[in-house]
Chain A
Amino acid sequence: MSDKNSGNSRNPLHGLWALTNRELKKWYKNPFLLFMSILQPIIWMGLFGKAMNLGAVFTNFNPTLPPTVPVEVRPLIEQAMSELSKQLLVDTFGTQDYFSYMSVGILTFVVLFTTMFSGISIVWDRRLGFLNKVLSTPVARGSIIMSKVLSAVMRSLLQAAIILGFASLLGLTPSATFSPINLLGVFAALFLISIGLSAIFILIAIRSTRWETQMAVMNLLNLPLLFSSNTLFPIHLMPDWLQTVARVNPITYVNDATRQLILYELDMQKLLFDFTYLGVFALVFTSIGILLSWKYLTR
């Protein structure tokens, strides 16, 4: 009996795709789970984008003018006020349409919520003994971590694509300078943030044996991460301390990049900075993840 024939074609990444595919299969082979994970962001977008319509605050501003105002100047004043509120909207959100502003933010939101769960699966793998079995095979430790990251990335990107399609049906209006090539940039930015975020959540789970702990951590982090960014509201209107937090929060940079690519006129310098920040963020946390996997997966 020899294992020689099994060792020939091995490359350092063997098993990475097999493990990633296992995660994905668990997802797409379960129609209920698949349906829910597509439905959830759509509901969120419908509710957030249409119910919490901050834009309406400005555009529905139609005060009754006092009777002393002469009839002949009334249309002028009304027009000026309407212009003013449009101007206010553009100044605040960078576009006349809050729904467009928000729906692009929801792309990041979906990525955040999907990647958050990537840590849970490693806790279950540990509890059910699967992790131990994988650790007793020659698969690289880093591949075990990266398979979790990659599957979370693929899932969140697919969900983001669905959101984007749905948002354009609901009235997302891209800027005049938008071209389909920009979409590549949008997904590149989402790719980087989802790598970084899932690496963080997996790192938190790497030693954990309790999924309850994971849930607590997720609940602690998710909404604060979301609200301390420009996902729903622009940061220049936030108090100073929150602005500082938001400027560190990588989610701010994805939103900035995706909004520039879809809604605004491109500012190449800012876009470059966004991508650099996201790239460093993704690189740092995956490196930490791979390094720690050597030390901490084996106890």
Chain B
Amino acid sequence: MSHDAIMVEGLTRVFNKNLVAVDHINFSVQEGEILGFLGPNGAGKTTTINMLITVLKPTEGNAKVCGYDINKQSSEVRNCIGVVPQEYTADEDLTGLENILLCADLYGIPREVSKKRAEELLALIELTKFKDKQVATYSGGMRRRLELACGLINRPHVFFLDEPTLGLDVQTRAATWNYIRLLKKEFGMTIFMTTHYLEEADMLCDRIAIIDHGKIVTVGAPEQLKEGLGGDIMTLSIKDAKADITGVIQKVPKVKEVRKQDGTYRIKLQDGEETAPTIIDAVRAEGYTVTRLSLTKPTLDEVYLEFTGKTMREEEEAKEQIFTQRITMRRARGERR
């Protein structure tokens, strides 16, 4: 890698002199990578994104986006990024096309260029048919796609997505992921996204950073994080309930831990798909018959709970944020204001 698309060093933001929203975080995002920023409500995700897109000033620390300093070269940063905020920001009274062209004008893109790009983007997100309809008539999924198109009109190097599928139903969410993948393939930019849908992070992201209480608690590829939990889990029962084959299983390579509970064996192992048949062979070789078997891979949910704990968050969220999220949810469901 020649250089990192995003470099964050000691970035900190304190609100009202005592609320530390983001606490000296460090991370980097490589060119062409999708980094997912995961964390509970109020963990500091949106605050971090707002600092990186130069809408919020850091209290301390610094970051470089596309090689530009967010404190000193904010207008260069703004030029090379695209942003899709959590909220639906497209103007409901304007048409889809008008909204995209408005975004283009904000970047100072000449009309002849922006018209061409707008048509291309509309075709990619399959909104060409609806481009002259008022956004007020769009569904939640259509609005999300429109936001994606608006964010890409300046051909950004780094694309910021804040909760890209908040409030969408499962089908629309899956479709939105496809659009994100498609756009990434088309334009090849680096993506920084926040989410609190774990399967979304798992499906889309090359690497994941989990943030909690303003600090990054872990960073890594989804697979790597899951591995970090200690591997897959296999449960197994045999016909002869009285026998104890713990020792037999223990000897199989890549088995890390075996526990017998109520006649079933709970086995922690690595590379479950390959190790499981070996275990079965070993058990049969000793003359026992396997009656039941299951293999589960750890999910990102478990990783997440491991790092952020299981207690529910009672922290007071900013009223403003709750209000905007409510509006976002309602619009996602296609309700009018």
Interface string of B53-82 (1 = CB under 8 A from A): 111110000000000000000010011110
CB atoms of B89 and A128 under 8 A apart: yes
CB atoms of B188 and A1 under 8 A apart: yes
Interface string of A128-171 (1 = CB under 8 A from B): 11101111111100000000000000000000000000000000
B319 to chain A, nearest CB (A): 9
Binds B, one of A7-15, A85-93, A175-183, A212-220: A7-15
A243 beta carbon closer than 8 Å to chain B: no
A207 to chain B, nearest CB (A): 12
CB atoms of A22 and B108 under 8 A apart: no
CB atoms of A138 and B75 under 8 A apart: yes
CB atoms of B79 and A138 under 8 A apart: yes
Interface residues on chain B, size class: 35 or more
CB-CB under 8 A for A9 and B108, given A128-B324, A132-B85, A298-B56: yes
CB contacts under 8 Å to B, within A12-28, are: 14-15, 17-19, 22, 25-26
B91 to chain A, nearest CB (A): 6
Interface residues on chain A, size class: 35 or more
CB atoms of A137 and B107 under 8 A apart: yes
A299 to B14, CA, bound (A): 12
A153 to B203, CA, bound (A): 50
CB atoms of B106 and A128 under 8 A apart: no
A267 beta carbon closer than 8 Å to chain B: no
- Residues on the A chain within 8 Å of B50, using CB: 132
CB atoms of A135 and B108 under 8 A apart: no
- Residues on the B chain within 8 Å of A10, using CB: 108
Binds A, one of B153-161, B213-221, B272-280: B153-161
A5 beta carbon closer than 8 Å to chain B: yes
- Residues on the B chain within 8 Å of A137, using CB: 78, 83, 103, 106-107, 154
B327 beta carbon closer than 8 Å to chain A: yes
CB atoms of B108 and A136 under 8 A apart: no
Q: Which chain A residue lies CB-closest to B84?
A: A133
- Residues on the B chain within 8 Å of A209, using CB: 320
B88 beta carbon closer than 8 Å to chain A: yes
CB atoms of B93 and A136 under 8 A apart: no
B139 to chain A, nearest CB (A): 18
Contacts A/B (CB < 8 Å), 5 sampled? A3-B155, A3-B157, A6-B79, A19-B106, A135-B55
- Of all A-B residue pairs in the complex, the 10 with the closest CB atoms, nearest first, are A129-B87, A18-B105, A14-B108, A10-B108, A137-B106, A136-B53, A136-B83, A138-B78, A133-B89, A6-B109
Query: Given A6-B154, A7-B79, A127-B327, 5 more contacts at CB 8 Å?
Result: A132-B87, A132-B89, A133-B83, A136-B160, A299-B56
